[in-house]
Structure 1
Amino acid sequence: MPALNAPRAHWASRFGFILAAAGSAIGLGNIWKFPYITGQNGGGAFVLVYLACIFLVGLPIMMAEFLIGRHGQRDAVGSFAALEGKGSPWCLVGWGGVLASFILLSFYSVVAGWSFDYIFKALTGGLSGRSPDEINALFGQLVGSAGQVIFWQALFVAGTVAIVIGGIRGGIERWSKILMPVLFLLLLLLFVRGMLSPGARAGLEFMFRPDFHKLTPAALLDALGHAFFTLSLGAGTMITYGSYLDRDADLFSLSLRITLLDTVVALLAGLAIFPVVFAAGLEPGAGPGLVFQTIPIVFSGLPFGSLLATVFFILLAFAALSSSISMLEVVVAYLIDEKRWPRLLATLLVGAAAFLVGIPSALSFNRWAEVTPLFGKNFFDLCDLLVSSYMLPLGGLMVAIYAGWFWKGAEEKAELVGPTRRPWLFPLWHFLLRFVAPAAVLIVLLNQIGILTG
């Protein structure tokens, strides 16, 4: 039997919750992925569409996930069971979130581990005084070495486990109050450096002067898909974090602040990166290699380049760590709430399992690069495709459908709006959740399946 009567831990403060939930949303998607997909899709017009998707699709679904978690006061599976009964098919949505978070952690830790390696390289001067070809070769040497990739992956998972073992207040909230302010400080330093570079004007124009001729249908879908992914939706994380909220929390205000923080970080990351890229005469749409290949080349030619590179990769590592702890917590919370496992045992075993399951993804860049079990994709690309393109959008779609169409309880409106606050909020939220968000997410899913591009 689940520990239904056990006292549930709650966040010590609203500020701590905001930092933890924002940390879950702010990850490699903001610092690594957003700048390069903005570069690939032409800049300003893409940014406008992305912002519209964040607030019209992402924010309503985030509010729904918080609402489900807070009302259920249990993990992602248990919250649906509390609302609909233990045998309800809706519990499958929670199960999907638990599975998605586990798979995501397994391969996310591989890329996150690279940031640890680059911190070491930057601190020891390994990136300074090198030609662009040499810096590109360094990245190839890293991912080509199974031993190195697995070592840094293991170190990253160990760091994630060490934080989650401490629990909600002593682990996740405590470290979020350290990681997130430092992350913002480092990002602001890099932003100021970018604004002082000769490419500042070009970077600002690229980010904020929309050219709608560059906005292709593929760019629209990229904006919608990334807006959904970057808010950490569909993986049970916000349901789980919401379950540690007390009944008096203002969900709209909290969700809006978290969404704004996530968006500001993505924009600042672009404004930190594009000016120095333009100043160096390099290509802003360099793709995934923008962070691990193009940025080190840029920093190597700047005064205090090693220091700037160190700051940047510490920023990247902190962003990755703040997200990974939420992924691990989703699975750990399920084992604690539903199986009555002690936190220490649950965290250690899930962390070890995620590391082991992630080894094929780590080997996908070297020894198993030619192993393509399904659809011609290696293990890493297959896990990324499964989670990012299918499981997360499907999870978010089901949350929107459930909260918009099937959760008929009066408590839904009462918990969201409160007795007298914002009478306009529930009708607007319900409309977006019933019609706009499901339609948008369904378009992303159909595109991934190939029906729209087909």
Structure 2
Amino acid sequence: MEREKFSSRLGFLLISAGCAIGLGNVWRFPYITGQYGGAAFVLLYIVFLIILGLPIVVMEFSVGRASQKSPIRSFEVLERKGQKWHLFGYVALAGNYILMMFYTTIAGLMLLYFAKTAKGDFVGMTTSQIEGVYGEVTAQPWLMLICMVLVVFIGFGICSLGLKNGVEKITKVMMLCLLFLIIVLVIRSLTLPNASEGLKFYLLPDFGRMMEAGLADTIFAAMSQAFFTLSIGIGSLAIFGSYIGKERRLTGDAISITVLDTFVAVMSGLIIFPACFSFGVEPGSGPGLIFQTLPNIFNEMQGGRIWGSLFFIFMAFAALSTVIAVFENIISSCMDKWGWSRKKAVLINIVLVIILSLPCALGFSVLSGVQPFGAGSTIMDLEDFIVSSNLLPLGSLVYLLFCVTRYGWGWDNFIEEANTGKGIKFPKWTRKYITFVLPLIVLVIFVQGYISKFFL
């Protein structure tokens, strides 16, 4: 059976970017940017994106395109007889499942908050009442389950239509809407009173604030964000490499996706900081910012119900684009490995992903007693830690070593694949850096993830 292909390069770029663009861009990036000195941090982040994220994106695409297989089989096709790289295929597939075990719940919350904002549920509420809504919502097991199941059905429903007619067509529309919405929201945020203070905080390099946070911590935060923002290491991007032809070199596409990912992250800061400063709100971290701080801001803003609805549908698109991309990876792996039809892969995985997502969806209510990292932690924290601090860095290391060492696919094969076609060449002079320095940086990120989790 001939492998499906994307109908257009734009489709490939938007879907790959959709996989990389997730909620970390929107809630984590603005927060840590503010914490580590604004523009000074952004500059560091961009440097690390280029020297750390980009090469690994090109490697994932190369392995996908050369093998024409999903991550579970790509190493099998490219490795030499007797080698064991193919075992990582199972780890990559497991990583995609674990990522979806908590991402489906977060995406469900985005849809729920969109519905609540559009309905006007927050109108007339006090600040503390709005902050309490998040706790009330997550404490309702059936509501959380319904939202999670809805996301699973939407995601697999789109994937069931096929690569071109489902995944490509719908993600393309969703990503273009996301980019349009973010520009509209930025314009609105910049026209708020006192928005200039937020802009100063965000865009003027403040090396004093950076030193206060600690130079080593700032460098590590920029490195981690650059690394995690692209979703590299579990084959989420490799799958899309397997759906493209050999007409273009892969470095140009990797740059386009990195630029889109960075654009969304930077623009999110342009929405959040002016709004926070305009209403005298501390830009808090993580879910609190999205589910507690921002609804309060929209409540005080003229036409806030409309702007709040637009913001949460933008967030839902960011989450769903990742869900669809990862579901496609899972489906393709099942079709490649076990010869299932797309329909069979969809039906089995709907059931499987719903069952696997139950612990996270119920982790705030029925299973709230399970606190893997001590008081106040949730099952979601554990699942996120397994993916972010373990599978992504270690998976990236596997792709790296596979592409640069003679014990794997090897540098020559990688360079030949990456540089097939027209466009920007992957620079050969980077070989020593990529072979010896980059694996060490990835290892440092992995070790630091444990240090900051358990020892700081």
Q: TM-score, normalised by structure 2?
A: 0.93
Paired amino acid for 2:109: W
Q: CA deviation at 1:34?
A: 1.7
Per-residue deviation, 1:288 = 2.9
Letter in 2 for 1:187: I
Read off the aligned partner of 2:343 and give its amino acid letter: L
Alignment of 1:414 with 2:413, yes or no, is no
In 1, the alpha carbon distance for the partners of 2:398 and 2:327 equals 22
In the alignment, is residue 257 of structure 1 matched against residue 256 of structure 2?
A: yes
Cα deviation, residue 204, structure 1:
2.1
| Superposition map of 1:188-203 within 5 A | 188-203=183-198
State whether residues 27 and 286 of structure 2, in contact with CA within 8 Å, keep that contact through their aligned partners in structure 1. Answer: no
Distance 1:264 1:432, change over 3 A: farther
Alignment of 1:160 onto 2:155: yes
Q: CA deviation at 1:421?
A: 6.3
1:184, distance to aligned residue in structure 2 (A)? 0.6
Matched, 1:100 2:102: no
SS in 2 for 1:435: helix
Task: Note the C-alpha offset of 1:53.
Answer: 1.4
Q: 1: distance between equivalents of 2:413 and 2:235?
A: 21
Report if aligned partners of 2:54, 2:255 keep a CA contact under 8 Å in 1. Answer: yes
Aligned AA for 1:416? A
Looking at structure 1, the residues matched to 269 and 220 of structure 2 have their Cα atoms a distance apart, in angstroms, of 20
Shift in Å, 1:173: 0.6
Tell me the secondary structure at the aligned position of residue 370 of structure 1.
coil
Where in structure 2 are the equivalents of 1:329-408 lying within 5 Å? Answer: 329-372=328-371, 378-406=378-406, 407-408=409-410
Q: Which moved more, 1:384-393 or 1:34-43?
A: 34-43
Structure 2 residue identity aligned to 1:176 = T
What CA distance in whole angstroms lies between the structure 1 residues aligned with 2:30 and 2:405? Answer: 36
Contact 1:204 1:271 in 2 (8 A): yes
Offset of 1:375 from its aligned partner?
7.0
Aligned residue in 2 for 1:27: 22
Query: What is aligned with 1:214?
Result: 209
Code of the residue aligned with 1:386 in structure 2: it is: I
Aligned to 2:293: 294
Offset, 1:238: 0.9
Contact between 2:249 and 2:423, CA under 8 Å: does it hold in 1? no
* Contact 1:39 1:286 (8 Å CA) reproduced: no
Kindly indicate whether the alpha-carbon contact (under 8 Å) linking 1:61 and 1:396 is maintained by their aligned counterparts in 2.
yes
Match of 1:426 in 2: 427
Is 1:147 the counterpart of 2:142 in the alignment?
Answer: yes
How far apart, in 2, do the equivalents of 1:344 and 1:405 lie?
39
Partner Cα separation in structure 2 for residue 239 and residue 419 of structure 1: 18
**Structure 1 residue 41: deviation in Å?**
3.1
- Between the aligned partners of 1:420 and 1:301, the Cα distance in structure 2 is 52
Partner of 2:438: 437
- Which residue does 1:227 correspond to in 2? 226
CA contact (8 A) 2:249 2:422 kept: no
- Find the aligned partners of 1:360 and 1:106 in 2 and give their Cα distance: 8
* Cα distance change of structure 1 residues 172 and 86 upon mapping to structure 2, 3 Å threshold: farther
Q: Distance in 1 between matches of 2:49 and 2:133?
A: 36
Q: Which moved more, 1:215-224 or 1:58-67?
A: 215-224
Q: How high is the TM-score relative to the length of structure 1? A: 0.94
Q: 1-side partners of 2:9 and 2:93: how far apart?
A: 25
Report the Cα distance in structure 1 between the residues aligned to 2:257 and 2:162, rounded to whole angstroms: 21
Output the amino acid matched with 1:233. I
Pick from 102, 106, 115 the counterpart of residue 110 of structure 2. 115
Displacement of 1:85: 4.7
Distance in 1 separating the partners of 2:73 and 2:336: 7
Report the CA distance between 1:269 and its aligned residue. Answer: 0.7
Inter-CA distance 409–428: structure 2 relative to 1 (3 Å threshold): closer
Shift of 1:420: 8.4
Query: Using a 3 Å threshold, how does the CA distance of structure 1 residues 233 and 345 change in structure 2: closer, same or farther?
Result: same
Root-mean-square deviation (CA, aligned residues, Å) is 2.0
For structure 2, list consecutive stretches of 5 or more residues without a partner in the other structure.
Answer: none
Task: Work out the CA distance in 1 between the residues paired with 2:391 and 2:285.
Answer: 27
In the alignment, structure 1 residue 74 sits paired with structure 2 residue 69: yes
Deviation at 1:429, TM superposition (A): 4.6
Which deviates the most, 403-412 or 385-394? Answer: 403-412
Q: CA deviation at 1:212?
A: 2.6
Question: Is 1:173 paired with 2:168?
Answer: yes
Instruction: Flag the 1:343–1:257 CA change in 2: closer, same or farther, 3 A.
Output: same
CA distance in 1, matches of 2:246, 2:421: 13
Question: Structure 1 421/14 Cα, relative in aligned 2: closer, same or farther at 3 Å?
Answer: closer
Partner amino acid for 2:396? Answer: G
Q: How many residues align?
A: 448
Q: In 1, distance between residues paired with 2:301 and 2:104? A: 30
Quote the Cα distance in structure 1 between the aligned partners of 2:344 and 2:455: 46
Residue type at the aligned position of 2:70: D
Paired with 1:206 and 1:150, the residues of 2 have a C-alpha distance of 39
Shift of 1:399: 0.9
- Equivalent in 36, 49, 57 of residue 41 of structure 1: 36
Code of the residue aligned with 2:415 in structure 1: it is K
Q: Deviations over 1:228-253 (max 9, x none)?
A: 22111112111111111112232111
Q: Distance in 1 between matches of 2:411 and 2:294?
A: 51
1:33 and 1:91 map into 2 onto residues whose CA distance is 34
Task: Give the counterpart letter for 1:310 in structure 2.
Answer: S
- Number of the residue aligned with 1:448: 449
| Matched position secondary structure for 1:450 | helix
Structure 2 match to 1:3: none
SS in 2 for 1:310: helix
Question: Which ranges of structure 1 fall in alignment gaps of 5 or more residues?
Answer: 1-5
Q: Report the residue type matching 1:31 in the other structure.
A: V
Aligned partner letter, 1:220: I
Q: Is the contact made by 1:447 and 1:453 (CA closer than 8 Å) also made in structure 2?
A: no
Change (3 A) 1:285 1:99: same
Which residue of 2 is the match for residue 309 of structure 1? 308
Residues 32 and 122 of structure 1: is their aligned pair in 2 closer, same or farther, counting only changes over 3 Å? same
- Partner Cα distance (1:43, 1:275) in 2: 13
- Helix, strand or coil for the counterpart of 1:237? coil
Shift of 1:286: 4.0
Cα distance in 2 for residues equivalent to 1:274 and 1:418:
43
Alpha-carbon spacing, 1:432–1:323, altered in 2? closer, same or farther (3 Å): farther
Deviates more, 1:176-185 or 1:351-360: 351-360
Contact 2:248 2:421 (8 Å CA) reproduced: no
